[in-house]
Amino acid sequence: MYRNSFIPFIILFCAVSHVLLAQEPEITPSPVEDIRLIDVDQLLESELEQTDETFEFDTYFEALDDYSARPLNLNAANLEQLQRLRLLTDKQANAIIRHRERYGKFISMYELQAVTGLDLTDIERIRAFVKIRDDLDSYRFNNVKELLFGGDHTLFIRFGQTLETQRGYTPVPEGSTATRYLGGPQRLYLRYRYNFGDKLSYGFTTDKDAGEEFFGKSQPRGFDFYSGHLFIRRAGPFKHVAVGDYEVMIGQGLILWSGFGFGKSPFVTNVKRQGEVLRPYTSVNENRFMRGAATTIQANNFEITGFVSRDKKDASIAQVDTTSETEEFVVEISSLQESGLHRTPSELRNKRAVGQTVMGGHLKYRRRVSH
């Protein structure tokens, strides 16, 4: 009798559960005005999942932060500015410009749904970084002082440390030939950058990895890595002028691609790398950049780029010997180091061990084809 009293409750529970499942609303696509502005952290996570390269969070976050503070005007943006956004494919960027040329300036975000190749997901991804305005909304300056100091100043400071004592910082056992890190476990990062719209950028970046000395015997200059750049866009016939540290992107990486390749995805139809030929370098990778000068000159449909770089790179020296006839040094390099770590005497021996000189050029012809 006691057991049978639970049967009505079981029947009632199953009936209520069935009713609740039947009340689930049908999911329908949201209109453009209800699209949620994309979160930068989610976008970074998405890019990390879609690429198999070393992801440069700081560089990507800095670009998104610039567009978040100063959204790109779709009524005035050219093809390269849309590509610099790094959230659109080449076909989508061209489709936006072609739609604007055919039907006039955009009136609102609603109109993006009519652009060929753009769906609600694409609009959601870019909406936080673009805007619709009638004016050109370009940065103008009255004098050189305003150009050099009237823009936006950005300062990033980062400190990190692992609290647990790692093996590299423990005392060496007596009689052991093992080595330990020369510096402390602190990680220090400092970056300053100035931007006047997209016309002028200058700044510097410094970095100290965990285990490296800071103002010590092996690092008397303080930080282990220093980088600086000056980058100018659209100065007369010069489309780009780079002095100091910069990146060169040519030939999808098969020829030269010194920086991170934005815009890659796991989809076969969107594997093309996107990026300008020249770009200022603001990351902390101590090897994947050029140090020198470069420029791009634009003449009608032609773009001519020339660059020269001279820097020293980390490398393992496998053998140093002299020949009996000429008594000249013969240096054999076993490998190039890309970690950028200089914590132990052996890593310090590899620091900036070989010189590298790179010179090159790039010719580009572009012509719009009407459809």
- Please spell the DSSP secondary structure of 207-275, one letter per residue: EE-TT--SSSSS-TTSSSEEEEEEEEEEETTEEEEEEEEEEEEEGGGTSEE-S--TT--SSGGG-----
Measure CA of the first residue to CA of the last residue in the chain; give whole Å. Answer: 83
Q: 313-345: per-residue pLDDT in tens?
A: 999 887 666 655 666 667 788 888 888 999 999
Q: What is the pLDDT of residue 45?
A: 56
Q: Which residues contact 76 (CB under 8 A, 6 or more apart)?
A: 133, 135, 136, 137, 138
DSSP-H helix ranges across the chain? 7-22, 40-50, 57-69, 79-84, 90-103, 120-126, 144-149, 345-350
CA distance linking residue 224 with residue 188, whole number of Å: 10
Q: What is the pLDDT of residue 290?
A: 93
Q: 17-56: per-residue pLDDT in tens?
A: 444 444 333 333 344 333 334 455 555 555 545 544 444 5
117 neighbors 91 (Cβ within 8 angstroms):
yes
CA distance linking residue 123 with residue 113, whole number of Å: 8
A 10 A CB-CB count for 46 gives 13
Give the position of tokens 């980058």: 231
Residue 81's φ and ψ, nearest 5 degrees, are -65, -40
Give the position of tokens 């076909």: 91
Q: What is the pLDDT of residue 66?
A: 74
Q: What residues are paired with 298 via a beta bridge?
A: 303
345 neighbors 177 (Cβ within 8 angstroms):
no
What residues in the chain have per-residue pLDDT under 50? 1-6, 8-38, 48, 51-55, 261-270
Q: What is the pLDDT of residue 2?
A: 42
For the stretch 204-230, what's the b/e string if a residue is b when 16 or more beta carbons lie within 10 angstroms of its beta carbon? ebbbbbbbbbeeeebbeeebbbebbbb
Q: What is the pLDDT of residue 157?
A: 92
Residue 8's φ and ψ, nearest 5 degrees, are -60, -40
Q: What is the pLDDT of residue 134?
A: 66
A 10 A CB-CB count for 276 gives 19
Q: Which residues contact 97 (CB under 8 A, 6 or more apart)?
A: 78, 79, 82
CA distance linking residue 82 with residue 72, whole number of Å: 8
Longest CA pairwise span in the chain (Å): 110
Q: What is the pLDDT of residue 172?
A: 84
Tokens matching residue 186: 């602190």
CA 354 to chain centre: 27
209 neighbors 219 (Cβ within 8 angstroms):
no
Residue 282 Cα distances to 63, 166, 185, 247, 312, angstroms: 11, 30, 24, 9, 18
